[in-house]
Amino acid sequence: MAFTALQTMFSLLTFSVLFNSCYGFHPKLINTSLAMAASEYDWSPAGATWYGSPTGAGTDGGACGYGNSVSQPPFSSLVSAGGPSLYKSGKGCGACYEVKCTSNSACSGEPVTVVITDECPGCVSESVHFDLSGTSFGAMAKSGQAQNLRNAGVLQIQYRKVECNYPGTNIAFHVDSGSNPYYFSILTEYEDGDGELASVHLKQAHSASWQPMQQSWGALWKLNSGSQLQAPFSIRLTSLENGKTVVASDVIPAGWQPGKTYRSVVNFKA
Distance between first and last Cα of the chain: 32
Q: Decide: helix, strand or coil at residue 17.
A: helix
Q: What is the DSSP letter of 141?
A: B
pTM of this prediction exceeds 0.85: no
Residue 60: the pLDDT is 72
Residue 59: the pLDDT is 82
How far from chain centre, in Å, is Cα 216?
A: 19
- Which of 66-97 are b and which e, b meaning 16 or more Cβ less than 10 Å from the residue's Cβ? bbebbbeeebebbbbbbbbebbeebbbbbbbb
Q: Which of 46, 45, 75, 38 is nearest to 60 (CA)?
A: 75
The answer to whether the CB of 135 falls within 8 A of the CB of 141 is no
The contacts of residue 2 (CB under 8 Å, 6+ apart) are 41
Rounded alpha-carbon distances, angstroms, from residue 16 to 19, 78, 98, 225, 265: 5, 43, 33, 66, 50
The answer to whether the CB of 239 falls within 8 A of the CB of 191 is yes
Residue 163: the pLDDT is 95
How far is Cα 122 from Cα 129, in angstroms, rounded to an integer? 10
How far is Cα 78 from Cα 151, in angstroms, rounded to an integer? 18
How far is Cα 250 from Cα 170, in angstroms, rounded to an integer? 15
Per-residue confidence of the chain (270 residues) as pLDDT tens digits? 443 443 444 344 343 433 343 334 344 443 434 333 334 569 999 999 999 999 999 987 789 999 999 999 999 999 999 999 999 999 999 999 999 999 999 999 999 999 999 999 999 989 999 999 999 999 999 999 999 999 999 999 999 999 999 999 999 999 999 999 999 999 999 999 999 999 999 999 999 999 999 999 999 999 998 899 999 999 999 999 989 999 999 999 999 999 999 999 999 975
